[in-house]
Amino acid sequence: MKTSSTLNTRFSESLDGIQRAGDFSFSGRMEIHTPLMEVAGVGPIALPLLPFQARQLIAIAEQAPYGRGMETLVDTSVRRTWQIPADGVQIQGRRWAETLEAIVGQVTEGLGIGQEISAELYKLLIYDEGGFFLNHRDTEKVNGMFATLVIVLPSLHGGGELIVSHRNRQVQLDLNCSSPSEVAFAAFYADCKHEVKPVTSGFRLVLIYNLLFPGATLPPEPPDDSKEERNITTLLQEWVTGKRSNEDTRPEKLVYPLEHAYTEAGVSFASLKGKDAARASVLRTAAREAECELHLALLSIEESGIADYVQEYMPRRGWRDEPDLEVGEVCDRRLVLKNWRDMEDRPVQLGTLPFLDEELSPENAFDGVDPDELEFEEASGNEGPSFERLYQRAALVLWPKERRLAVICQGGLAITLPYLQMLTDQWIEDGQDVHGPQWRQAHELAGYMISSWPEKKWRSWPSSEKTSDETSFLSLLVKLRDEKNISIFLAERTAQGVYSKADNPAMLSALAFLDPVHALKLIDLVISGNARKCFGGCTQLLRSAIEGLNGSFRENFLATTVTLVDALPGDGDSPSEPAWHRPKPVNPEDVVDLVLVLGLLDATPSHRVADHILSNPKTYDLDKILVPAILELRKKPETQGMVACQRLLSTCLTHLRTRIAEPLEPPGDWKRKSKLSCQCMHCRELEQFLADPKERQWAFRAAEAKRKHVESTIARAGCDLDFKTERRGSPHTLLCTKNQTSYENRVRQRGKDLEDLAQMERQESA
């Protein structure tokens, strides 16, 4: 099997072998200052061509002949157009000479000619409606002629496309030019076959020039890159065949940077120059033959890292006083492709796709290349010197057609989810045929997405601001009714920790498409794989699943319920993961969901749940967790008579009644809770003030840093103090005033306790 480096090297060497710029044909458009054109027998000709003048030209013109061997024939079944010889046409004005010179200059480069050439007017052609010219080759009309230049003058018409072919390649050129401010032109070598398609409307006005090569040397011929084209085609065919094997380690795509510099807005096949254009032309043909997709894109390599100081030694002066900076270690590197165009030079919405170093051809393409941008940042504070640099090139990018979706998947979910959404919308619009191409493509893309789905284990803190990627993906699979990928995603991704509580609605909708027995197995897998890290999500999922099933299936969840009970969080839990990976704290909904599951299943672990909850008071705080949970549970008839629910209710009632029985009186003096964690000089002074039953205010005059420290001590301790800074004098004064916050909080708590107790007692008696 060929290695990736061998593929990249062979590919770049074959393209590098195309040393001659140019192609067998070249076309373009150019803005002009409208020339003064006169035709003998008609006079000045207005541009764009007016219909009545077109008829005047035809009236004095002759039927254009064609050559067959040594003969010159007129046959309107082969060629139907009108001609006026060069000596009957005068084009005046200095600007036209400049325009023609500029066109010839572009043609010289486009045809790959290394020497100066000249253009000699041969004739003026007029095509009326139905005019055409069948496929033919031009004959050499004068010595030194090697190519033909066609300039289409402004004229309102339809059709008349020029088709040029050489060996096994063909281009179709639309030279329709109705704007008075521009002309369209095309040039091609004399041995190229070409034809003019019928004009469908209006009149087509064309100047024909012979392109002449001076001197006695042989005239140039079209570039012959057939050997390189065959080599590249064979190489690409081997690549395509190899990528059909899952064991093939060669890159998914090839990225070939071009030589010339192009602006971001100017990246297009039409704007390619010299060898770049020639290589793109050959590669376009080879890609089609090998069933590959070819694109043009803007390549960017962004690097940043550590810069080093270097000193320069100067003869007779010694070391320079101020050292320079140079690039040191690269710490961050981003390689992307964007601004895509397809083989037809149309913009393509592929977004920003990453690429790998091993996909570059050759892999060392940027070794020793100067960056397009390089910026250094001097050292400051605790930060050392740093650098940022950018390499930017246009690049030819191709991949096997069969691997298009795999390449798109390299862009990650930011690219693939919108693309899958687009395919799904198209499939729905086309009638939802599960055997149609859109569905098959969406199904294949979904498979690639699952296999490359990013690991976000224990995603238990989802953002409430946006729908998760997992929910979006499952929702699309539901629309597609893609049972296979739903099953694979839930078993291989969701059950392995790519899960949050917010995904439950989409997951339940997806499970509804599956066979009930298989759906039960998947739910068990998801809960078993996530119970410890996303307990609340699993309890809600299990409750929703059980409530959606009839009684005959509910008993299948007994083992799953035991798994969930075994995963109950407790005070002794000390996850080894970083804080941002730890599960969300238990909330009242989690307790409600779990107890309801036990009630629906009439499960025996209910006593274990009550034991665990009551023995872990830090995790299941009475006021924050249990009281709200019991108030909700007592509304559910299925919890009546449950031992677990009764024990939790009894504990909550005792807690409320005990606290209500405590005396509640406002403070009789200004003594406040005074134990502080900090025992610095200023905080000890604060502590003494808090313990003083007579003093209500304390003025602390000090520098800002000391005032801020005292403020933070007050906040951490929850002192019954209001404080503000008086900004008179220097330093300013922190004025602290005692309040009754603790008492007021107890008053509010008493009111809530009475309300909660009354509600529980009403529920108990009901």
Separation of alpha carbons 223 and 19, rounded Å? 10
Residue of 594, 487, 468 lying closest to 543 (CA atoms): 594
Structural domain contains residue 576: no
Strand partners, 495: none
DSSP string, 575-609: -SS-GGGSPPPP-HHHHHHHHHHHHHHT-TTHHHH
Q: Please tell me the predicted confidence (pLDDT) of residue 635.
A: 86
Mean pLDDT of 287-297: 95
Contacts (Cβ under 8 Å, ≥6 apart) of 402 = 240, 243, 244, 291
Residues 330 and 378 in one domain: yes
| 674 domain residue, yes or no | no
**What pLDDT score does 214 carry?**
79
Helix axes 588-601, 535-547, angle to 10 degrees: 40
Closest by alpha carbon to 374, among 313, 305, 310, 309? 305
d(CA 373, CA 302): 10
Contact 127, 196 (CB under 8 A): yes
> Does residue 417 surpass a pLDDT of 90?
yes
- Reply yes or no on whether the pLDDT at 315 is more than 60: no
- The alpha carbons of the chain give a radius of gyration, in whole angstroms, of 41
The residue from 177, 212, 247 where one domain ends is 212
Shared-domain flag, residues 512 and 631 = no
| Nearest CA-CA partner of 762 in 649, 651, 660 | 649
Per-residue pLDDT for 354 more than 60? yes
pLDDT digits (tens, 9 = 90+) for 630-685: 999 888 887 777 888 888 999 999 999 999 999 999 999 999 998 898 999 999 99
- Could you tell me the two tokens for 470? 């997992």
Do 497 and 555 lie in one domain? The reply is: no
Domain assignment of residue 386, yes or no: yes
Burial of 74-106, coded b for 16+ CB within 10 Å and e otherwise, reads: eeeeebbbbbbeeebbebeeeebeebbeebbee
My answer on whether 478 and 368 are in the same domain is no
Examine the fold and report which residue of 151, 185, 212 is the final residue of a domain before the chain moves on: 212
Are residues 140 and 230 both part of a single domain?
no
In the chain, the number of structural domains is 5
Whether residue 137 sits in one domain with residue 203: yes
397 and 447 housed in the same domain: no
Rounded to 10°, the helix 516-530/504-511 angle is 150
pLDDT of 459 over the 60 cut: no
CA-based nearest residue to 258, from 357, 361, 395? 395
pLDDT of residue 458 exceeding 80, the answer is no
- Based on the fold, state whether residues 552 and 423 are members of the same structural domain: no
User: Within this chain, do residues 623 and 508 fall inside the same structural domain, yes or no?
Assistant: no
Domain membership flag for residue 744: no
For residue 127, tell me if it sits in a domain: yes
Cα 559 to Cα 562: distance, rounded to the nearest angstrom:
5
Q: What does the alpha-carbon distance between residue 163 and residue 153 come to, in Å, rounded to a whole number? A: 18
Q: Are residues 252 and 358 in the same domain?
A: yes
The DSSP bridge partners found for residue 307 are 327
We report the CATH number of the domain holding residue 105 as 2.60.120
Question: Do 687 and 642 fall into the same domain?
Answer: no
pLDDT at 428: 92
37 and 117 in a common domain: yes
Please determine, for residue 275, whether its predicted confidence score (pLDDT) is greater than 70.
Answer: yes
Instruction: Name the DSSP letter for residue 11.
Output: H
Give mean pLDDT, residues 54-59.
96
Q: What is the pLDDT confidence band of residue 295, given thresholds at 50, 70 and 90?
A: very high
Q: If DSSP codes are grouped into helix, strand and coil, which group holds residue 396?
A: strand
Residue 220 resides in a domain:
no
Using the 3D structure, point to which of 212, 247, 267 is the last residue of a domain: 212
Instruction: Using the predicted structure, report yes or no on whether residue 420 has a pLDDT greater than 60.
Output: yes
649: domain range? 534-571+583-666+753-766
Residue at 578 is within a domain: no
In a domain? residue 218? no
